[in-house]
Amino acid sequence: MQDEVKAPQPPEDGEAATGEAGTGADRLVSAPQPVAKPRHRASRALRTPMRERDVRERARSFDEVNLGYSHDEALAEAMRCLQCANPTCIDGCPVNIDIKSFIGGIIEGDTRTGIEVLKARNALPAACGRVCPQEEQCEAACVLAKKGDPVAIGRLERYLGDLDLACDLEHRCKPEVGEATGRRVAVVGSGPAGLACAGELARLGHAATVFESLHAAGGVLIYGIPEFRLPKDIVASEIEVLVEMGVEIVTDVVIGATFTVAELMDEQGFDAVFIASGAGLPVFLGIPGENFNGVYSANEFLTRVNLMKAYDFPHHDTPVWRGRTVAVVGGGNVAMDSARTALRLGAEEVFLVYRRTEEEMPARREEVHHAREEGVEFKMLCSPAEIVGHDGWVTGLVATRMELGEPDASGRRAPMCVLDSEFRIECDTVIVALGTRANPLLTNAAPDVELSSRGYIVAGPDGETSKPGVFAGGDIVTGSATVIQAMGAGKTAARAIDTWLENRGQAARAGDVGEGA
């Protein structure tokens, strides 16, 4: 094994050299030089576990489940990193964080540089360290994953992110802001895509104004992901840094209602617009009984609890129906979040109803594991057929047993009904977590932005839409995806916007010269 530890090498060129020339990224003065490769002998210890709140305590509490690494734990885990000459993990990251260097910072005891390296690429490391599916991204690409457990990159990211947030605002790492260009960009939506775009625009010297329709910024990070996975003060603190960098956040403005995209450009003087309004509309089952009281979309249930803090009713004014027996329909992370939230609101039994098997569930393994550990009962190969009720309220969910057939277009084995297999799950609450569709509120008011047949915005690889100066990214382009994918789209679009503004400026200057001649 010792052979695998390569001899120290001179620092490689900075990240500015990673093929972004010509995109304006060369103006990103703050991109720090990578930490010199530490002279360390990689530890052969097993992956350092993350401490968790005790399952009996946490299943009834909204306090965070994962407790994070201590300094010693972070160091022990960082020491497992081989500091490869050719770090493949970086390619596994949708925003290409220089993982090798930030882990190097921890190894060398230079966490400040580690944080700077991290924040050069990711404005929300404490959030991403918690909610990114690292096991499919950077950690899947880790060399150690070939023979055993990869380095816990996500946990180390969270460690550095938290370390930074523990400082006063003035001492936190603030990526350097580029010289003001005088250009103004409107960002629609303050979720991961919008925030990442705004942060990147600020680094490039553009004035970014983020419009949020809700009363608080963060998008899915605050209305969707529960407190016990991602504390809301973490999100607020990371946004605080963006505001310090000059990003303006305007809440209570619905683009498509309060202002249209055209008005932002024609009347309010924005030079470009980035649309990151998310995939808003909840999908329902379309089965009888779905409008009984006690049937929630996961969006509504989680918004009431997370954004409106209904778990703290009546101190907070928003109520939520606290079911005793809850059936959650779906198999993704949102279904897990809903089930675990229902438990924490006091449910005696929570069933997770999914039409395939655990193997096909799109949820992260960690979420499935936590849900099961906390007492969520999995009812696999069950497809809801009808919601039954009495006096306006849910009393049960009728489901059909399924079996798996041949793989379908998505590569997953298609579930098929078993004849005459209907059975009833007694429950007083049903939460439907089947995903979302495009929300037409904004796009209806922007007829010149081309949409797909399903209502999503058609955008090129850099986020450009059919309307000049208007870019889009995140779920409103791709449909439901991950936080970090949306952030990647936001950053890419910011650089494309920068280039577009630059080209337009050059064209205008050339035009002036032409006219003068």
Partner 1 sequence: MFEVVATRQLSESVFETTVRAPAIAAKARAGQFLILRVDELGERIPLTFSDWSSDEGWVRFIFMRVGKTTHKLSHVGAGGFLADVVGPLGKPTVVDGLGRVAVVGGGVGAAVAYPVARAMCEAGDDVTVILGARNRGLLMLEEEFRALPLGALVICTDDGSTGRKDLVTAPLKELCAAGALDHAMAIGPAIMMKFCAATTREFAVPTTVSLNPIMVDGTGMCGACRVSVGAKTLFGCVDGPDFDGHLVDFEELMSRQRVYADVEQEAAADFESECACKTK
Binding site for partner 1 (CB under 8 A): 213-215, 223, 251-254, 257-259, 280-282, 284, 290-291, 293-294, 296-297, 299-300, 303-304, 308, 313-319, 321, 392, 439-441
- Min separation Cβ 389 and partner 1, Å: 10
Using a 10 angstrom Cβ sphere, with 0-12 exposed, 13-18 middle and 19 or more buried, the burial of residue 201 is buried
- Min separation Cβ 130 and partner 1, Å: 23
Q: Where are the beta strands (DSSP E) in 135-278?
A: 184-188, 207-211, 248-250, 272-275
d(CA 158, CA 165): 10
106 within 8 A of 79, measured Cβ to Cβ = no
Side-chain half-sphere of 140: how many Cα atoms within 13 Å? 10
Query: Looking at beta carbons only, is 328 or 497 nearer to partner 1?
Result: 328
SS3 string, 161-199, reads HHHHHCCCHHHCCCCCCCCCCCCEEEEECCCHHHHHHHH
Query: Looking at beta carbons only, is 260 or 499 nearer to partner 1?
Result: 260
d(CA 3, CA 42): 10
- Min separation Cβ 260 and partner 1, Å: 9
Query: Looking at beta carbons only, is 18 or 318 nearer to partner 1?
Result: 318
- Min separation Cβ 278 and partner 1, Å: 8
- Min separation Cβ 222 and partner 1, Å: 12
Neighbouring residues of 18: CB distance < 8 A, sequence distance ≥ 6? 96
Query: Looking at beta carbons only, is 43 or 318 nearer to partner 1?
Result: 318
d(CA 92, CA 57): 35
- Min separation Cβ 302 and partner 1, Å: 9
Query: Looking at beta carbons only, is 63 or 312 nearer to partner 1?
Result: 312
* φ/ψ of residue 65, rounded to 5: -80, -55
- Min separation Cβ 24 and partner 1, Å: 32
Query: Looking at beta carbons only, is 375 or 479 nearer to partner 1?
Result: 479
100 within 8 A of 81, measured Cβ to Cβ = yes
Query: Looking at beta carbons only, is 132 or 302 nearer to partner 1?
Result: 302
Query: Looking at beta carbons only, is 280 or 362 nearer to partner 1?
Result: 280
Tokens, residue 116: 């700077």
Helix %, strand %, coil % of the chain (to 5): 35, 15, 45
Query: Looking at beta carbons only, is 50 or 457 nearer to partner 1?
Result: 457
d(CA 369, CA 52): 12
- Min separation Cβ 219 and partner 1, Å: 10
* φ/ψ of residue 122, rounded to 5: -140, 115
- Min separation Cβ 339 and partner 1, Å: 18
Tokens, residue 517: 């001649």
Tokens, residue 363: 């949820």
